[in-house]
Structure 1
Amino acid sequence: MRLLFAIIAILSFTCLAQAETRYIVDQAKLPMRSGEGTGFKIIKMLPSGMAVEVLEQSQTGYSRVRARDGKEGWILSRYLMKTPAARDRLQAFEKELSQLSHLKQKNAAADKENRRLQAENENLKKEIQHIRKTAANAVEVAEQNLALKEEAAAAKQALFDLEQQTVDIRSGAQQRWFLMGGGAIVAGVILGLLLPYMGARRKRRWGGY
């Protein structure tokens, strides 16, 4: 009976902990042994900062752990930490800081690109307004040109009509002058024929007295 209580007491000192993750302290390397003590064989050397899974903790100051490669062994519990090593935390912090800086740079670049796109958008709006205004002016100019062409065509037709009237007037005047000249010639001929006859008649009349 006493033996049974002794076994229970010994077992009570051995704490079977639920598996959890611990980290090797920030030292060079620590041995993981096959048993609870320095006399046991070293199974593996664990580097500082390495994450291990704690399977069991005993009152002897050792913990049974499992490494990432699946090997199990014992290591002094005081060399296990609940948080990563300071060096690893520093590296993680530096990585996070670098990522944050990179994000800030990307945000700054995005803001710059956004401002550039806004400026380009404003320029495009101004250019579109200018094109619309130019197009409206072009339509107006085209309409004015068409009106001018129509006016020029009407003026050309009027000039042609005026020239035709001038030609007609000149032709009529020439015809009148021709008729007048012809009439004068005929009158001269008649007068030339009549004058000798009239002279002879006068002589006969004067001779009769």
Structure 2
Amino acid sequence: MQKLRLICFSLFALGITAAAHADEKRYVSDELNTWVRSGPGDNYRLVGTLNAGEEVTLLQSNDNTNYGQVRDSNGRTAWIPLAQLKAEPSLRTRVPDLENQVNTLTEKLNNIDATWNQRTADMQKKVAASDGVINGLKEENQKLKNELIVAQKKVNAANIQLDDKQRTIIMQWFMYGGGVLGVGLLLGLLLPHMIPSRKRKDRWMS
């Protein structure tokens, strides 16, 4: 009887093979909750369930029955069909992660959009300020041009007045010169007649 038990135990040990990598992470399929058993086969009693999408650790597997021994997050161990284990996280786990990633990307995009809007507003302010400076310079330039035109007109008027004064002075000098010349000429004509008559008068009186 003891030998029979030893043979059965040996056969049972040979039926259970260790997993290729111990303590591998696995995920329960996304279907309904899965029943787990106390041993590697359908003939073992049910000991509970695992939630769909729950993360478990694969401890070992039985290639004959295609069952694997897993440990859940609470530290409980049980056997579950390998077909109901997935190597990738379940949709129930991935969807929240994807939602978090989408939310993170959305927040980054919003921040980028806000930053871009702020930069655009700053650039618009700078452009508006530059336009104001340019317009001010244009107005100042036009003002200087107008002042230059007025100054040129004043200079032209002063030149005209100066020319008129110079002509007046020249005319006055001509008039003074003509008057002196006329007086000299008149004296030149009268003096010869006045001097001889005096001489003749002096001779007669002697």
Interval containing the TM-score (normalised by the shorter chain): 0.5 to 0.7
The residue that corresponds to 1:123 in the other structure is: 122
The residue that corresponds to 1:157 in the other structure is: 156
The residue that corresponds to 1:145 in the other structure is: 144
Letter aligned with residue 29 of structure 1: S
**Structure 2: 5+ residue stretches without partners:** 1-30, 37-57, 71-78
The residue that corresponds to 2:60 in the other structure is: 28
Whether the 8 Å contact between 1:24 and 1:46 is mirrored in structure 2 is no
The residue that corresponds to 1:36 in the other structure is: none
The residue that corresponds to 1:3 in the other structure is: none
Q: Find the aligned partners of 1:194 and 1:132 in 2 and give their Cα distance.
A: 93
Deviation at 1:151, TM superposition (A): 0.9
Name the count of aligned residue pairs: 146
Q: Deviations over 1:9-38 (max 9, x none)?
A: xxxxxxxxxxxx8989744223257xxxxx
Does 2:166 match 1:167? yes
Deviation at 1:139, TM superposition (A): 3.8
Whether the 8 Å contact between 1:24 and 1:48 is mirrored in structure 2 is no
Counterpart secondary structure, 1:125? helix
Q: Deviations over 1:123-154 (max 9, x none)?
A: 12322332332343244224323322321221
The residue that corresponds to 1:4 in the other structure is: none
The residue that corresponds to 1:75 in the other structure is: none
**1:92-111 alignment runs, 5 A limit:** 93=93, 99-111=98-110
Q: Name the CA shift for 1:106/1:48 in 2 (closer, same or farther; >3 Å).
A: farther
Q: Find the aligned partners of 1:99 and 1:132 in 2 and give their Cα distance.
A: 48
Q: Find the aligned partners of 1:116 and 1:143 in 2 and give their Cα distance.
A: 40
Whether the 8 Å contact between 2:69 and 2:80 is mirrored in structure 1 is no
Counterpart secondary structure, 2:63? strand
Q: Name the CA shift for 1:152/1:162 in 2 (closer, same or farther; >3 Å).
A: same
Q: Deviations over 1:188-207 (max 9, x none)?
A: 32243133223124325645
Cα RMSD after superposing both structures:
3.9
Deviation at 1:179, TM superposition (A): 0.5
Q: Name the CA shift for 1:188/1:112 in 2 (closer, same or farther; >3 Å).
A: same
Letter aligned with residue 189 of structure 1: G
The residue that corresponds to 2:80 in the other structure is: 79
Counterpart secondary structure, 1:186? helix
Deviation at 1:168, TM superposition (A): 0.6
Q: Find the aligned partners of 2:68 and 2:187 in 1 and give their Cα distance.
A: 153
Letter aligned with residue 162 of structure 1: Q
Q: Find the aligned partners of 1:47 and 1:198 in 2 and give their Cα distance.
A: 173
Counterpart secondary structure, 1:79? strand
**Structure 1: 5+ residue stretches without partners:** 1-20, 34-44, 50-77
Whether the 8 Å contact between 1:24 and 1:80 is mirrored in structure 2 is no
The residue that corresponds to 1:5 in the other structure is: none
Whether the 8 Å contact between 1:24 and 1:81 is mirrored in structure 2 is no
Q: Find the aligned partners of 1:138 and 1:199 in 2 and give their Cα distance.
A: 89
Identical positions, percent: 6
Q: Find the aligned partners of 2:109 and 2:60 in 1 and give their Cα distance.
A: 44
